[in-house]
Structure formats: C-alpha cells, structure tokens
Structure 1
C-alpha cells in the first residue's frame, strides 16, 4: 500500500494547482513535492497532473481518485480532532490563529504568561493574512474578526466592533475648513467611493491597503481619511491621529473566539480559550469605540 503522505501531497497540489504553493502549505521544499508526486505516478503507472499555463491540472486518473482522497483526508482529520477533543492533559501543541493586530495590541503579554504557567503546552501561533482552515487542523483555536463564523465552529462573539473615520491632525484641520479633494485610504475590496465619503468635498482615492496596521500608518503619515475599527487607532492612542466627529453605525462584524466542535472537551484548548476570553473582554469598551467618542 502506498504511503498516505504521498496522497496528502497529491491532494495539496490538486487544491493549489502549484508545486510551490503546495510546498509552502505542507512545510517542505519544492523538490520534495515533485519527488512524491513522481513516486505516486511511477508506482501506479499513471500521470496524475498535466502542467498547463494555469498550473497543474488533474488528468483523468487524477480526477478519478480526487474525491476518494479528499474523503479520506476529511475522515483522518475528523479522527484526529475527536482524539484531541478528549485529551484532558494540560500539555501538547495548540495551533492558534488570530489577526496580528489583536495579538500585538491585546494578547502578547497574556499568552507569554500562559506559556510560563503551562510550560508543557506549546503555542504555535499563526498571524499571517488569510484564514486558517480549522476543519483541516491548520488551526485548533482562533480569534477571528468576522460577521458570522462557519457552522462547524463553536464559540462565541466576544463583542461587536465600532468603526470610525480617522485622519491625521493636519488633514482634520483642513477638512474642518472645507478642504476640497479630500484623499481616502480604502480597503482593496471596495469598488468606487464608499458611502461615508459623501461627508467630504470631492473625495479622491489616494491609496488602497490590505492590512489594518499599515492603513493606520498611512493615515498617520497624512495619506488621507480611512474607516477603521476603533480598537486599533484608539489603543495606539497617538494624538496626531484623530477620529472625526462623524457617526458610523455599529458594525455587524465582531470579535469571535472559535474552535472546532470536535475539540470542545480538550483541556488545553479550553484553558487557553478561557485566557483569551478573559483578556479580550477587558477591552470591550475599546472595541466599541468608547475612548474616542
């Protein structure tokens, strides 16, 4: 019987369409991916992928086994989660994921103390952009900023979030005096001018940015007005960045603390989850914009 590891690599290449992307996802080098796929093909006398301008595409043989391998992978992940979910030891690894702004502003010190208090628990923290797949055990526990989490996750919304319009002091004064051509700093997914831009005279898009802390730095540098969740600029608390007195509706996005349902009885997951909840709850007024009204 062929190694299951080779089938996992087959599945990764099928899903990403790329040896390089698969290597990054699996934590191995490009040559390992290529060698494992060649081994699988040679052992069974078939070609599983064709290289095209759009990446690696499944052949008929690859298509024939894809669903079977996917179902096997999901069953293996479920079995692993179920075993982990009944682990009553305060030891082992926790794959934890959250936005780096949440970690940097609120949870770095509490997690440092957690590691001192529970030295047998090892935190594997992921803060890169993009959501980790909890179902596939890419993460065990997550702090997410989202309007609604997937149904297979359990947990709770710690709080909703308030947004505000922020600008540096120089532009705040110019806007107060009726400035024209007010520059905006926007998220890349926003097409055209956002509704809130109607508060300004002849607004113009100055910059798109896909990271909250970078958006804040752009505002502080004078790039323009940005709509940001209040917790970040208000926690930095730099007097050169001002929240404009323009009310914004409470967002339907919230701070969620989540794990897979199969991990609900894991002692180490629940212990870490309690710590995260405790320290996030301390900052609910900040998430609701109470300090910059």
Structure 2
C-alpha cells in the first residue's frame, strides 16, 4: 500500500463519501471510485459499508484511518522542525486572525512588515475559530482570547477593552455610567448566536429585553456598522469605535468584558527565522497601540487605521 491509499481511505471516512473525498484530494469522482475498488480488491477486504447516510468505515478501514492520523502527525512534526531550522527569514508564513483585527489594526503593520522582510510571503487566513497550529493550518495566530491553547507559546500584547457606544447625533451630550439603566429601554444591537458565549453578549441578553434587541449580527465589524447606522446602541471594542467620529461613548470601558490580545505560535516554530522576525516586529508594533486598544482615548496613529476615518 502507498501513502495515497491511506489518504484516500481517510478522506472517504472523514467526508463519509466519494464526492467529498475526491474534492479534498483534487481528483474526480470516478477516479476515487476506481481507486477504492482496486484497493479493496488488492487487500481482499471491504473497507466501507455503503449506506444512504454515506460511507461507513469497516474495522480494517478504521485501522487505516488511525494509522493515517499518526502518519499525518509525524509529517507535521517533521515539517515544523525543518521550518525551525531555516537560517534566513524567507519563504511563506501563514498567519491566522479575524477580520476585525485585520481591518482595524493589522493591515498597515503587515504592510510595513512586508517592506522590511520582502522575502517573506504572507498568507492571511481569516477565521474566528482557532486553527490547528500543530498541523500547520497556520504558523502564527493573532487572537483575542483569555484562554490560549496550552500547546502554543507566545505573549499577551494588550487587553482589548469594550465600552457602550451610540450615534453621536443621538447623544449630543454623551452619557455616563450612571445613565446605563435608563438606556436598557432603547433599541440595542448585539452579537449573533455564534458569539453568544462571550461575556458582552451574555450581558446584553441578560439585561436588555428581547424586544429591544432588534438587530443581531455575527461579526464585530457588522456590529460596529449597525451602531454607526443608528440601528441601536451596543458594546464595541474601544480601538474600533473611538476613531469613528460618528460614535460616542456611553460608558467607561467595562473590565469584565475585556479579552487578551495574543501573538501565538507552535513551540517547534518559534526559532524559525521568519516566525521569529514576525513575532518580534509585529509584537513591537502592536504594543505601540496598547493605550488605544485598552480603551484610553485614541491617538492619531490609530485613527488613521480606521476605514471610517480615512
């Protein structure tokens, strides 16, 4: 058996069918069907039971999948170790973050990084869920979290603070924390179900009547646009909302809603020249914006990062 045989069986088991497996492997359906038939004939065993719900692996196939998983882990480990042996900062670097951090903080920093290190090619992967750095889904993660995975190493660069915001023309005199209870009767916007577990989302759900939450959206960017459009008031990260002249703070930053901003990588990669260059440069640049990220009044350098203020 070849490694391709193991990859085929694993892909079919993972996707529960030939169509998904063929797409994952970059082959057509008929090729996947033919290869599976040849493999079963050569081994003299049936690898999958065909059901209406999909392909179910038999015990021999389950053993092949388990071995394929171990082989993938070994290959990924070797790949990380080889990447850590490079002498000069060059090659491709895959960085995962979310759209909010990319648009409102990272893009100018990444542009400057490319100017400093032109031999490093950046591949940015936008994802709100954590990618598997152990399997090289990404080399570096820039994440807002209070619980970074124990399998990764990195540093906490700042604390992202949130405050309550509304349209400036609707609150020409601003507001204070003492006014918060009276604001519960206004129209609110909140994060969608996929982010319902974070503290700020739970707070709004527990304190504002359901009929007053007239707009929910599953991204922080969408939430910010909704508040600026006057759909309702809502809690936003200070470094996103403060540079927007159309918004005004209605509360002080709420410590309970804060999250850490982390720069993370896998231990096997931290001595790689390109990873080390990214961690040092981008980390130092982000720290320059710590005051604004942590809810102090924004300085002009951060204001220039905001699309709304350009």
TM-score of Structure 1 vs Structure 2, range by shorter chain? 0.7 to 0.9
Structure 1 position 185, deviation (Å): 2.1
**Partner residue of 2:251?**
245
As a proportion of its length, which structure holds more helix?
A: 2
Question: If the length of structure 1 is used for normalisation, what is the TM-score?
Answer: 0.82
Question: If the length of structure 2 is used for normalisation, what is the TM-score?
Answer: 0.78
After TM superposition, list the pairs within 5 Å mapping 1:84-163 onto structure 2. 84-163=83-162
The alpha-carbon distance between structure 1 residues 172 and 279, as it changes in their structure 2 partners (threshold 3 A), is same
Structure 2: 5+ residue runs without aligned partners? Answer: 299-310
3-state SS in 2 of match to 1:114 = helix
In structure 2, distance between residues paired with 1:197 and 1:43: 54
In structure 1, distance between residues paired with 2:136 and 2:227: 37
RMSD: 3.2
In structure 2, distance between residues paired with 1:114 and 1:278: 11
Structure 1: 5+ residue runs without aligned partners? Answer: none
Q: Check conservation: 1:48, 1:59, Cα contact below 8 A.
A: yes
**Partner residue of 2:271?**
265
Structure 1 position 56, deviation (Å): 4.8
Q: Check conservation: 1:50, 1:59, Cα contact below 8 A.
A: no
In structure 2, distance between residues paired with 1:273 and 1:36: 42
After TM superposition, list the pairs within 5 Å mapping 1:131-210 onto structure 2. 131-172=130-171, 180-188=185-193, 189-190=195-196, 194-196=202-204, 204-210=212-218
**Partner residue of 1:228?**
236
| Cα-to-partner distance string for 1:178-224 (whole Å, 9 max, x where unaligned) | 57353332332438x84356776886221221111111111111221
Structure 1 position 68, deviation (Å): 1.4
Structure 1 position 249, deviation (Å): 2.1
**Greater Cα shift, 206-215 or 105-114:** 105-114
**Greater Cα shift, 72-81 or 239-248:** 239-248
